[in-house]
Amino acid sequence: MTNPEPQLTIREAAQRTGLSVHTLRYYERIGLLLPVERAANGHRRYAEIDLRRIEFLNKLRTTGMSIQQMCEFAALSQESDLTVPQRLAMLEAHRNEVLTYLDELRDNLGAIERKIALYRSIEEKQG
């Protein structure tokens, strides 16, 4: 049975996800992505579900999750629902790390804002 979903080439998937063709192949090779469907000529064809997985992986990576942790999460995701507690624990731990980082960024931004206010006040006195 043929998949009625539109299938994207690896270049189209790269454009849609913001990843390079090389990175998509690498993610598949290391198990972050399940092997994608192939056309009769052997070329990869990405479906919407593949793009959604890639989008989530991008979010994990952008928020600082290591490739090793992402691989661990992906391996658990490919198992049964019995691994939901481990996946949940991983995501909660990562969320906590992201929240801590956001707090640090807010503190740093506050220091920058204070320095800007200081320089503006000096400029006003000079001007």
CB 73 within 8 A of CB 67: no
Asked whether the beta carbons of 29 and 70 are under 8 A apart, the reply is: no
Chain segment 71-109, per-residue pLDDT in tens: 999 999 999 999 999 999 999 999 999 999 999 999 999
If asked whether residues 16 and 70 sit together in one domain, one would say yes
Q: What is the pTM of this model?
A: 0.81
Indicate whether 65 and 101 sit together in one domain: no
Q: Is the pLDDT of residue 4 over 70?
A: no
Domain shared by 74 and 88, yes or no: no
pLDDT computed for residue 1 by the predictor: 45
Q: What is the DSSP-derived secondary structure letter of residue 38?
A: E
Task: Answer yes or no: do 73 and 89 share one domain.
Answer: no
Check residue 62 and give its pLDDT.
Answer: 96
- Give the domain extent around 100: 80-127
Model confidence at 6, in pLDDT bands (50, 70, 90)?
Answer: low
Same domain, 56 and 116: no
Q: Give 51's contacts (C-beta < 8 A, 6+ positions apart).
A: 8, 13, 16, 17
Q: Alpha-carbon distance 53 to 58, whole Å?
A: 9
* 127 compared with 92, residue with greater pLDDT: 92
| Res 127: pLDDT | 76
Q: 56 to each of 44, 61, 86, 126, how far by Cα in Å?
A: 20, 9, 17, 51
Residues 72, 88 share a domain: no
Buried b (16+ CB within 10 A) or exposed e, 22-52: ebbeebbeeebbeebeeeeeeebbbbeebee
